[in-house]
Amino acid sequence: MQATTTSFGIEEALEQLGIKDLNHGTSTGNKWFPGGEEIASYSPVDGALIGKVTATTKEEYEQVITSAQKAFLSFRAMPAPQRGEIVRQFGNKLREMKKPLGKLVSYEMGKSLQEGYGEVQEMIDICDFAVGLSRQLNGQTIPSERPGHVMREQWHSIGIVGIISAFNFPVAVWAWNTALAWVCGDVCVWKASEKAPLCSVACQNIIAGVLKENNLPEGISSIINGDYNVGEMMTTDARIPLISATGSTRMGRIVGGKVAERFGKSLLELGGNNAIIITPTADLKVVVPGAVFGAVGTCGQRCTSTRRLIIHESVYDKVRDAIVGAYKQIVIGNPLDESNHVGPLIDKESVETYLKAIEKAKAEGGKVLVEGGVLEGEGYESGCYVKPAIIEAENSFKIVQHETFAPILYLMKYSGDVENAIDMQNGVAQGLSSAIMTNELKEAEKFLSFAGSDCGIANVNIGTSGAEIGGAFGGEKETGGGRESGSDAWKVYMRRQTNTVNYSDELPLAQGIKFDL
């Protein structure tokens, strides 16, 4: 668990992305506003100040929304395939900027460089998906019970989409939303996490160039920055019909409530408390990498991170020893060094949360198998590097029932049939991602059945983390019920309309009702 401290060209990456010492944090297209108070972004990698952004003022927010409203009127009239062409160009720009943007993601957020590159690749992938989708925003024809009538269903652009994203995926989640919203004819206003604001500035620099090259309205893409007060400007604004918010369950309750009060739509993708069930027939060659990456990838700061391993008692000791042994091989250090597996937590507040969670687990009777703690010394000066911990626990522990955004993995036993493990898996308030490791077909199908996992994502013989963009992403219960990315998630960014056309010379009523004059 040694750190590596060398330079990895972050200065060059910042220059390529147009990131300065002080950056405007409010923009519509190429137009930037001076902003109010400054927000500093410190890297959890080395504690260095990367840069600052200015927070959005109330007056600037009003200008952003006015610009977005104006842009929507013309953008929705553009044929969808032409909107797809804009997204295609954006995807190509991302290909050109993958390395510098991936480095910024890694440096500002703290995830490994490979994960930083992977996050930008997700942006590219969703652009490709959206380009194809731009020719498939299909409604349907519905048989009418009345002669000489036809019913149709079609989809229309919804308007301004407000996007609130979290620090752990500082660019990909925005792209999931905005690429689909753009091909649907919507315009987007993005409030990034104040813990990773420079990523939003970099992305806006990239899309602003595409909009300018195509002589398109600035308000198609806008960013705002600031704390929860800036986010509240959007959640309470009736001019924004849809708010897509990614973050904690606590945040989702606030956002969902505010938006519901004004009868707006919410897309909520919130917390997870994800488990892998390991059955007697599970293949350890699959179990170990799936469980370990799920637990320690992004330093446990993914909403799909593996929090619980539910292991059959007959193989518990073997699986436990294999997982504990694998943890000894984890290398923690500068995430820009690709030889390191795990980088830092996002900030010292998260470190405190991690330490308190371990103490709570001990107090409830948990047995520590791999000791946690904060790393010190050369390469760990930021104070944000921690050791991934493993704790034997019970599913009923209060701390186990709570999602801790840190690399803490709880191990627990189940006995009897797989139904008992499924009950444990479902026995938490969250419902995002889940997995089962088994070579028994019946167990896999039970896990995937109506009586199986209650999560939005249910995997067989892969871990809980690492979703592809082709499937709808999201979960149930306190995860919020929203769906982003693939499948038919595009429908949330549009309004549905049912049409009935009478092409006959009569006016028959539905349900056989007679109304003769």
Active site residues: 269, 303
Q: Two tokens at 187?
A: 């315009």
3-state secondary structure of 85: helix
Our CA angle for 444, 480, 411, nearest 5°, is 45
Q: Spell out the residues 6+ positions from residue 357 whose beta carbon is closer than 8 angstroms to its own.
A: 399, 402, 404, 406, 408
Q: Spell out the residues 6+ positions from residue 488 whose beta carbon is closer than 8 angstroms to its own.
A: 472
Q: Spell out the residues 6+ positions from residue 28 whose beta carbon is closer than 8 angstroms to its own.
A: 63, 64, 67, 68, 71, 218, 219, 221, 222
Q: Are 135 and 216 in contact (CB under 8 A)?
A: no
Q: How far apart are CA 136 and CA 438, in angstroms?
A: 37
Q: How far apart are CA 474 and CA 488, in angstroms?
A: 12
Question: 511 — phi, psi (to 5°)?
Answer: 60, 20
The secondary element (H helix, E strand) that includes residue 254 is helix 249-261
Place of tokens 């944090």: 25
- β-strand 484-485 against 472-473: which pairing, if any? antiparallel
Q: How far apart are CA 280 and CA 43, in angstroms?
A: 43
Q: Are 41 and 10 in contact (CB under 8 A)?
A: no
Place of tokens 């309205």: 217
* DSSP per-residue letters across 160-186: EEEEE--SSSTTHHHHHHHHHHHHTT-
* DSSP per-residue letters across 93-132: HHHHTHHHHHHHHHHHH---HHHHHHHHHHHHHHHHHHHH
Output the 3-class SS for 415-428: CCCHHHHHHHHHCC
Nearest to 183 by CA among 140, 126, 237, 239: 126
